[in-house]
Amino acid sequence: MELDKSELDEIVKAAEDEVIEYLSELVRIPTFVPPGEHYEEIVDLLIPYLRESGFRCERIVVPEEVVERMKEDVAGLNGKRVNLIATREREGGNKPLLDIYTHLDVVPAGEAWHTHPYTMVRKGDRLYGRGVADSKGSVAALLMALRIMKEQGIACRYNLRVALTTDEEIGMYSGLCYFADNGLLRGKYMLCMDGDNEGICVATNGVMNWEIVVNGKACHSSTPFLGINAIEKAKLVMDALEQLKERVERRESKVPCSPTMTRVTGQKHIKPIFNLTMISGGVKENIIPPSCVLRGDRRYIPEENERDVVHEFETALEPLRSELELEVHCYPGYPPMHTDPEEEWVKEVQTAASAAFGVHKPITGVQGGLDVAYAVQKTGQPVCAFGVGSSMESNAHSANENIRIEDLTNYVKFLVMLLRDM
Ligand SMILES: [Zn+2]
């Protein structure tokens, strides 16, 4: 069926209460991780909705031995890691397959909420609850978009595979990584609904955590010449790291950052980042400290690569090794992500998003890392991320997470406009 924008506006307006109700049901299931105990429940809730829209649903449970390995790095994980794949392939046509992805887990509620985090509340033009922005709002919008398309007889131009997964928020081996390693992502393109609505995100930074142990020698503090003060020596390391930081952060990517980021920082492109974020050492006031541990992270732009990043880090510390005993460890995380902005797929997403939201949505990159980057490094799929919430207003990962109702309904329109066969 042909449908113009004002007709779609009206249909979605009429469905507003229902999409809010969908979201409220999703928020009610506390899928926070750790522990991540309620995945099966939320998958069971979603399956009937997706079946009604013609999808074949499979529960994909991450094997026990994979979860055991995750538990070595993350404390407090518990329960089955139940993921969902819903596939709809229409016979007779050779339509391209599109993977639509987001995660079902949320970060723990934390303190300082004005409302109950798992009972969604509507106040004015906003909805409050854990996960409304990151990223259950997009799931609710997808259910509604699929239902509207069915009820209005709007044909879909893609075969669809919806991947709703576990454990994204712990930043390790998520359900999506498992999907990628097991050939479960096969779409020609991917839409990542985990993102903000400010721009079409085609690039993310890669992540590497690091740790430096400065070794000294303990002794009585009244005779410090008998020992080596590891904390005082760590200052030399920090000086070297500061110079490295300066060098690293002078670089920038070709990928623009969001207009909001430009407004706040003046920065026009995404940049690499070097942080010293943790320090520990010392035993007692009157003992010369035998060791001092420094930790931090390095976020690297798509134009950099992991090998060079590690090499640069080690080289910066090399001159100190003649006078200090150092142990240096690098822990690479997600790689960077980069889809060519000239890709047809990116333009389609941008066109649909701009039309649905009624404003031009720019192509952007973000300085954080995403599990999608790991996935598309395996699959080579062009991907872009566009979501419901706002990076500046939604308080994702903190108290009073919220979205504008208008952003939620615009996101429903975005999906219909992106998926419909014209
Ligand atoms: Zn997220």
The model's pLDDT over 257-276, given as tens digits with 9 standing for 90+, comes to 999 889 999 999 999 999 99
Same domain? 292 vs 189: no
169 alpha carbon – ligand 1 mean position (Å): 7
265 alpha carbon – ligand 1 mean position (Å): 23
296 alpha carbon – ligand 1 mean position (Å): 22
Same domain? 191 vs 154: yes
Tens-digit pLDDT profile for residues 274-286? 999 999 999 999 9
**How far is 66 from 334, CA to CA, in rounded Å?**
17
213 alpha carbon – ligand 1 mean position (Å): 33
384 alpha carbon – ligand 1 mean position (Å): 14
Question: What are the two backbone dihedrals, phi and then psi, of residue 79, each rounded to the nearest 5 degrees?
Answer: 95, 165
Same domain? 28 vs 152: yes
106 by DSSP, 3-state: which? strand
351 alpha carbon – ligand 1 mean position (Å): 23
pLDDT of residue 323: 93
131 alpha carbon – ligand 1 mean position (Å): 8
pLDDT of residue 49: 98
pLDDT of residue 92: 61
66 alpha carbon – ligand 1 mean position (Å): 22
252 alpha carbon – ligand 1 mean position (Å): 25
Same domain? 327 vs 356: no
422 — pLDDT class (breaks 50, 70, 90): confident
Q: Give the mean model confidence (pLDDT) for residues 331-344.
A: 95
User: Between residues 391 and 204, which one has the greater pLDDT?
Assistant: 204
270 alpha carbon – ligand 1 mean position (Å): 19
Helix 16-28 to helix 137-151 angle (10° resolution) is: 140
Same domain? 367 vs 223: no
Q: Give the mean model confidence (pLDDT) for residues 383-390.
A: 96
Same domain? 313 vs 340: no
CATH number at 325 reads 3.30.70.360
User: Domain containing 82: what range?
Assistant: 5-204+336-419
Q: Give the mean model confidence (pLDDT) for residues 34-58.
A: 98
What pTM does this model have?
Answer: 0.91
| Average of per-residue pLDDT values in the chain | 96
pLDDT of residue 391: 86
pLDDT of residue 416: 98
Q: Give the mean model confidence (pLDDT) for residues 136-157.
A: 97
Degrees, nearest 5: CA angle 21-27-32: 170
242 alpha carbon – ligand 1 mean position (Å): 31
Percentage of residues of the chain with pLDDT beyond 90 = 94
Same domain? 23 vs 121: yes
Number of domains the chain is built from: 2
Same domain? 103 vs 245: no
Same domain? 258 vs 305: yes
134 alpha carbon – ligand 1 mean position (Å): 5
Q: Which of 311, 332, 353 is the last residue of a domain?
A: 332
Look at residue 171 and tell me whether its pLDDT is greater than 90: no
**How far is 157 from 95, CA to CA, in rounded Å?**
7
pLDDT of residue 2: 67
154 alpha carbon – ligand 1 mean position (Å): 29
Look at residue 91 and tell me whether its pLDDT is greater than 80: no
Do residues 36 and 29 make contact, with C-beta atoms less than 8 angstroms apart?
A: no
Q: How many CB atoms lie within 10 A of CB 422?
A: 8
pLDDT of residue 297: 96
Percentage of residues of the chain with pLDDT beyond 70 = 99
Tens-digit pLDDT profile for residues 218-237? 999 999 999 999 999 999 99
230 alpha carbon – ligand 1 mean position (Å): 39
Per-residue CA distances from 263 to 252, 266, 394 (Å):
17, 6, 17
261 alpha carbon – ligand 1 mean position (Å): 18
Handedness of CA 381, 85, 57, 49 (dihedral sign): negative
Task: Identify residue 143 by its one-letter amino acid code.
Answer: L
Look at residue 58 and tell me whether its pLDDT is greater than 90: yes
Of 109, 111, 134, which Cα lies nearest the Cα of 119? 109
Same domain? 158 vs 32: yes
Do residues 258 and 198 make contact, with C-beta atoms less than 8 angstroms apart?
A: yes
Do residues 126 and 405 make contact, with C-beta atoms less than 8 angstroms apart?
A: yes
Q: Which of 289, 314, 332 is the last residue of a domain?
A: 332
Of 186, 139, 162, which Cα lies nearest the Cα of 60? 162
307 by DSSP, 3-state: which? helix
269 alpha carbon – ligand 1 mean position (Å): 22
358 alpha carbon – ligand 1 mean position (Å): 24
19 alpha carbon – ligand 1 mean position (Å): 20
Residue appearing with tokens 């469905």: 15
Per-residue CA distances from 298 to 37, 73, 74, 335 (Å):
31, 19, 20, 12
pLDDT of residue 172: 85
